């Protein structure tokens, strides 16, 4: 018998978001079926896949199909994976050295993104059927950001691939996704971990999964540009911390040091998510039982009040 007793907030983090699959595998084993899922970026992708298939083995097969396809190489994400740490450490020195070798990187300075967002849509075709969000077996919300209005856009209906493409369009990497006069980019610009939508639209305790990157001070340059980007990372991290404080339970898999484009480590990422979620099951059960007891007391008082008014 399944327990529909939690709302999930699955955070963004590129490849690190594959970790969510391991978390969901634990829930699968424990017969915990979320009553609502909110996802940002890869968190939205994994959340929608689970809401569609309810089978983490099939989800892992689809992730493997993506990793083994031409997408990573075609999009140049494999080069991002190999150079991300170096980019953080050496900043623009490394970028300008790479420009002569990799035309892809020059697009950061000349276009709205290095990779056409249409290619991202092709990746979604490998991962999930293009059903309407309203037809998923679990209520679901994908978070994107409209850069024109600087506001979050919450997809709760419409084609799921459209929502996931918009939610995953990493700024500067993918060109913005244009839809109904909006220019949509990654939901992480609004809610890196989407706890507010999970609280607003869900009716159960919120379990948040944080897959944000590490702020280890060894990964930035002490020059001006390094300090500039470091400051932005600190602001994002502090905002994400405030979002997580609104959750009832926070799961933090040990993935903060893995680069956002390292999709080929998907098996390791899944395992890390599994370990982290397994370690939180007792805490999750306690929160769920507390909520259940509260609802039972509330409903008991409500029935008594109705009985007294009709007696």
pLDDT at residue 167 is higher than 60: yes
CA nearest to 276, candidates 21, 4, 6:
21
Mean of pLDDT values over 148-152: 97
pLDDT at residue 227 is higher than 60: yes
The tens digit of pLDDT for each residue in 29-80 reads 999 989 999 999 999 999 999 999 999 999 999 999 999 998 887 777 776 6
pLDDT at residue 17 is higher than 80: yes
Q: pTM (2 decimals)? A: 0.85
pLDDT at residue 225 is higher than 90: no
Q: How far apart are CA 232 and CA 227, in angstroms?
A: 9
Question: Between these two residues, 309 and 25, which has the higher pLDDT value?
Answer: 25
Please state, as a whole number, how many other Cβ atoms lie within 10 Å of the Cβ of residue 239.
14
Please state, as a whole number, how many other Cβ atoms lie within 10 Å of the Cβ of residue 277.
25
The tens digit of pLDDT for each residue in 86-136 reads 444 444 444 444 433 454 444 544 445 578 899 999 999 999 999 999 999
Task: Please say whether the beta carbons of 45 and 164 come within 8 A.
Answer: yes
pLDDT at residue 290 is higher than 80: no
pLDDT at 305: 53
Question: Between these two residues, 62 and 174, which has the higher pLDDT value?
Answer: 62
Cα dihedral: 163, 167, 168, 172 (round 10):
130
Q: How far apart are CA 196 and CA 38, in angstroms?
A: 9
Residue 247 Cα distances to 139, 209, 210, 243, angstroms:
18, 10, 11, 7
Q: How far apart are CA 79 and CA 83, in angstroms?
A: 6
């Amino acid at each position: 018998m399944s327990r529909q007793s939690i709302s999930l907030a699955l955070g963004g983090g590129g490849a690190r978001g594959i970790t969510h699959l391991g978390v969901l595998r634990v829930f699968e084993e424990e017969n915990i079926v979320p009553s609502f899922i909110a996802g940002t970026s890869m968190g939205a992708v994994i959340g929608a896949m689970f809401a569609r298939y309810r089978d983490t083995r099939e989800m892992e097969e689809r992730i493997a199909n993506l990793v083994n396809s031409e997408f990573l190489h075609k999009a140049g994400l494999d080069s991002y994976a190999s150079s991300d740490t170096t980019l953080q450490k050496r900043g623009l020195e490394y970028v300008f050295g790479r420009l002569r070798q990799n035309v892809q990187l020059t697009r950061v300075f000349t276009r709205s993104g290095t990779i056409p967002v249409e290619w991202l849509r092709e990746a979604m075709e490998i991962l999930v059927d293009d059903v309407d969000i309203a037809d998923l077996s679990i209520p679901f919300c994908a978070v994107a950001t409209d850069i024109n209005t600087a506001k979050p856009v919450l997809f709760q209906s419409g084609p799921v691939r459209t929502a996931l493409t918009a939610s995953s369009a990493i700024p500067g990497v993918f060109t913005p996704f244009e839809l109904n006069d909006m220019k949509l980019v990654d939901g992480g610009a609004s809610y890196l971990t989407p706890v507010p939508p999970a609280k607003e639209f869900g009716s159960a305790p919120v379990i948040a999964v944080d897959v944000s990157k590490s702020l280890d001070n060894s990964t930035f340059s002490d020059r001006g540009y390094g300090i500039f980007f470091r400051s932005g990372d600190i602001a994002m991290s502090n905002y994400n911390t405030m979002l997580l404080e609104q959750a009832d339970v926070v799961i933090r898999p040990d993935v903060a040091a893995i680069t956002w484009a390292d999709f080929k480590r998907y098996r390791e990422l899944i395992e890390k998510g599994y370990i982290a979620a397994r370690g939180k099951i007792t805490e999750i059960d306690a929160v769920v039982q507390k909520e259940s007891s509260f609802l039972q007391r509330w409903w008991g008082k409500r029935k008594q009040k109705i009985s007294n008014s009709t007696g």
